[in-house]
A and B are shown apart, each in its own frame.
Chain A
Amino acid sequence: VPITLVADRQYTAPSAADGVSITPVSTAWTNSAYVTVLAATPSACVLTGLVVHTADGASSTVSYDAEIDIATGTAGAEVVIATFRLYNRRIVNAQWGPQTGLLLPIGIDNLAAGVRVAARLRKNSTSTTAWTVAITYLQKPLTGTYLTTANVLKALPPAAAGVTVTAGGSAWASGSWAQLRTASGAALVIVGVVFGAPSAGAEYELDLGTGAASSETVITTLRCTTGTSAAPAVVLLQLPLDNVAASIRLAARLRCSTASATLIVSLLVLELPL
Chain B
Amino acid sequence: VSVRTTTPLKVAPSAAAGVAITAGSAWAFGSWVQILASTAAPTAIAGVQISGGTYSAIFWELDLGIGAAGAESSIGTLRLYLGNSGSTNGTITVLLPLPLGGISAGVRVAVRARSSAGAGPATVALQYYESLSSDHVTTASQVLSSAPSGSGTASLTPSATPWANSAWVELVASAAADLGLLGVTHHVLATTATHVEFDLGTGAAGSETVLTTLRHSTFNSNRVLCTWLPGVYPIAAGTRLAIRMRKGDTATTAHPVALLYYTGVSSVIESRVSQVTVETLSPVPTIESRVSQATVETLSPVPPGPARLTQLVVETLSKPPLYSCATADAGPSICGAEPVLTWIEQTYTRVGSPTSDARVVSDAPLNHPSGYYGGPKAPRVLGFGGITRALSDVQGQWTAATMRWREAEIDRIVRRRFADPATYPVVNAVDVCRMIRESDWRDQGEARLMFMGHRLQAQPAEDLSIEHESGDLLARDLENAGQELESPRRLFSANYTPGIPTDLLGVPEPIIYGRASDALSTATPPSMWGSTSLGGFMTGPYADFGWAPMPCDCLPPTGVSVTEGAGGSIDVANHPAGTLYAIVTSVDATGRESDPSTYSQRDMTAVPSLILTGSGKTATVTWTAPGGTAPTYYRAYLGHAFSGVVHYYQFLQVAGGVLTATFDNAPSVEDVALEDYSHLATGAARISYGVFAYYAAAAQMSDGSWTALASPMGIGLANPYRRTARIEFINVPVGAVAVGVWKFPEPTLNRPTLGHFVVAYTGSPLPTYVDDDWLGTNQLTGLDPPQARGLIDLTALYGGQELVAADGQYWHRWFVASHACASVTLYLDGVELDPTTAGVDWLWPGTSAYADRFGQLYRDFNGRRYCVVYARGPNGDRAASSSGYEADAGAGSPSSPSDLGEAIVLTANVEGIEDAADGTGTLIEDLFEQEIHWWVNWGPFGDYQSGAWLALPDWTPIEDHCKLSTDSWRAASAAARTAFGATITGAAVIRDRASMRDWIARWRLSTDTRLGINAAGQWIIAWHDLAASPVAGFTEIRHVQAGSVQLEPLHDEHWTVIPYRFAENARDSTWQEGELEDLDQTAAYGERRVAAVRDLFFIRSAAAAAFLIARMLARHATVPWRATFETIDLCGTNVDLGDVISLTGSWGLGLEGWVTFPLVVERIVVLPDVQRTQLAARPQFPPQTTSP
Task: Name A's B-contacting residues (CB within 8 A).
Answer: 1-12, 15-19, 40-44, 48-49, 51-53, 55, 76, 91, 93-97, 99-101, 103-107, 113-114, 132, 134, 136, 138-141, 143-147, 149-150, 172-174, 189, 195, 201, 203, 205, 218-243, 255, 257, 273-274
Partner of B4, one of A8, A42, A147: A147
> From residue 203 to 233 of chain B, which have CB atoms closer than 8 A to chain A?
210-221, 223, 227-233
Interface segment among B56-64, B262-270, B470-478, B1064-1072: the answer is B262-270
Instruction: Please indicate the chain B residues that have their CB under 8 angstroms from the CB of A230 in the complex.
Output: 89-91
Closest beta carbon of chain B to A269's beta carbon, Å: 12
With A53-B193, A230-B89, A273-B293 known as contacts, the answer to whether A11 contacts B213 (CB < 8 A) is yes
Task: Name B's A-contacting residues (CB within 8 A).
Answer: 1-11, 14-18, 46-47, 49-51, 87-93, 95-99, 125, 127, 129, 132, 134-138, 162-163, 180, 190-191, 193-195, 197, 210-221, 223, 227-234, 246, 248, 265-267, 269-273, 290, 292-293, 296, 298, 303-304, 307, 313, 315, 317, 521-524, 733-735, 848
Closest beta carbon of chain A to B171's beta carbon, Å: 17
Closest beta carbon of chain A to B454's beta carbon, Å: 49
CB nearest neighbor in B for A16: B163
Instruction: Please indicate the chain A residues that have their CB under 8 angstroms from the CB of B50 in the complex.
Output: 225
Judge whether A233 and B98 touch: CB under 8 Å: no
Judge whether A239 and B3 touch: CB under 8 Å: yes
Instruction: Please indicate the chain B residues that have their CB under 8 angstroms from the CB of A3 in the complex.
Output: 98, 135-138, 180, 232, 265
CB nearest neighbor in B for A148: B292
With A227-B88, A233-B90 known as contacts, the answer to whether A113 contacts B523 (CB < 8 A) is yes
With A232-B91, A238-B95, A274-B293 known as contacts, the answer to whether A221 contacts B218 (CB < 8 A) is no
CB nearest neighbor in A for B52: A225
Instruction: Please indicate the chain B residues that have their CB under 8 angstroms from the CB of A100 in the complex.
Output: 216-217, 219
With A141-B734, A146-B231, A147-B3 known as contacts, the answer to whether A235 contacts B272 (CB < 8 A) is no
Judge whether A224 and B93 touch: CB under 8 Å: yes
Instruction: Please indicate the chain A residues that have their CB under 8 angstroms from the CB of B191 in the complex.
Output: 95
Judge whether A99 and B218 touch: CB under 8 Å: yes
Judge whether A76 and B848 touch: CB under 8 Å: yes
Closest beta carbon of chain B to A93's beta carbon, Å: 8
Instruction: Please indicate the chain A residues that have their CB under 8 angstroms from the CB of B293 in the complex.
Output: 273-274
Judge whether A103 and B270 touch: CB under 8 Å: no
Closest beta carbon of chain A to B901's beta carbon, Å: 31
Instruction: Please indicate the chain B residues that have their CB under 8 angstroms from the CB of A55 in the complex.
Output: 193
Partner of A7, one of B88, B219, B233: B233
Closest beta carbon of chain B to A182's beta carbon, Å: 22
- 25 A–B pairs (Cβ distance < 8 Å), ordered by A: A1-B266, A1-B269, A2-B135, A5-B233, A7-B233, A9-B212, A44-B735, A53-B195, A53-B218, A95-B191, A95-B221, A99-B218, A103-B229, A105-B3, A141-B734, A144-B234, A223-B93, A224-B49, A225-B50, A225-B51, A227-B87, A230-B90, A230-B91, A242-B1, A257-B17
Judge whether B90 and A239 touch: CB under 8 Å: no
Closest beta carbon of chain A to B15's beta carbon, Å: 4
CB nearest neighbor in A for B163: A16
Judge whether B221 and A114 touch: CB under 8 Å: no
Partner of B195, one of A19, A201, A239, A257: A19
CA distance A178 to B735 in the complex (A): 50
CA distance A4 to B96 in the complex (A): 13
Judge whether B270 and A99 touch: CB under 8 Å: no
CB nearest neighbor in B for A201: B88
Judge whether B136 and A4 touch: CB under 8 Å: yes
Closest beta carbon of chain A to B181's beta carbon, Å: 9
9 closest A-B pairs by beta carbon, nearest first, are A227-B88, A6-B231, A2-B135, A95-B220, A48-B230, A53-B217, A114-B522, A99-B217, A224-B93
CA distance A258 to B231 in the complex (A): 35
With A19-B195, A231-B89 known as contacts, the answer to whether A101 contacts B230 (CB < 8 A) is no
CB nearest neighbor in A for B96: A238
With A103-B229, A225-B50 known as contacts, the answer to whether A2 contacts B296 (CB < 8 A) is yes
Instruction: Please indicate the chain A residues that have their CB under 8 angstroms from the CB of B219 in the complex.
Output: 95, 99-100, 232
CB nearest neighbor in B for A19: B195
CB nearest neighbor in A for B848: A76
CA distance A225 to B124 in the complex (A): 10
CA distance A201 to B51 in the complex (A): 10
CA distance A257 to B271 in the complex (A): 44
Judge whether A6 and B88 touch: CB under 8 Å: no
Partner of A9, one of B180, B210, B523, B524: B210
CB nearest neighbor in A for B50: A225
CB nearest neighbor in B for A207: B8
With A219-B8, A257-B17, A273-B293 known as contacts, the answer to whether A236 contacts B136 (CB < 8 A) is no
Closest beta carbon of chain B to A71's beta carbon, Å: 17
Closest beta carbon of chain B to A38's beta carbon, Å: 11
CA distance A227 to B848 in the complex (A): 48
Judge whether B230 and A146 touch: CB under 8 Å: yes
Instruction: Please indicate the chain A residues that have their CB under 8 angstroms from the CB of B234 in the complex.
Output: 5, 7, 144
CA distance A97 to B191 in the complex (A): 13
Instruction: Please indicate the chain A residues that have their CB under 8 angstroms from the CB of B46 in the complex.
Output: 238-239
Inter-chain pairs besides A140-B734, A205-B11, A221-B14, 4 sampled, C-beta below 8 Å = A49-B230, A225-B91, A238-B97, A243-B8
In the complex, which of the residues B129, B135, B292 has the most CB atoms of chain A within 10 Å of its own CB atom? B292
CA distance A5 to B269 in the complex (A): 7
Instruction: Please indicate the chain B residues that have their CB under 8 angstroms from the CB of A241 in the complex.
Output: 4-6, 8-9
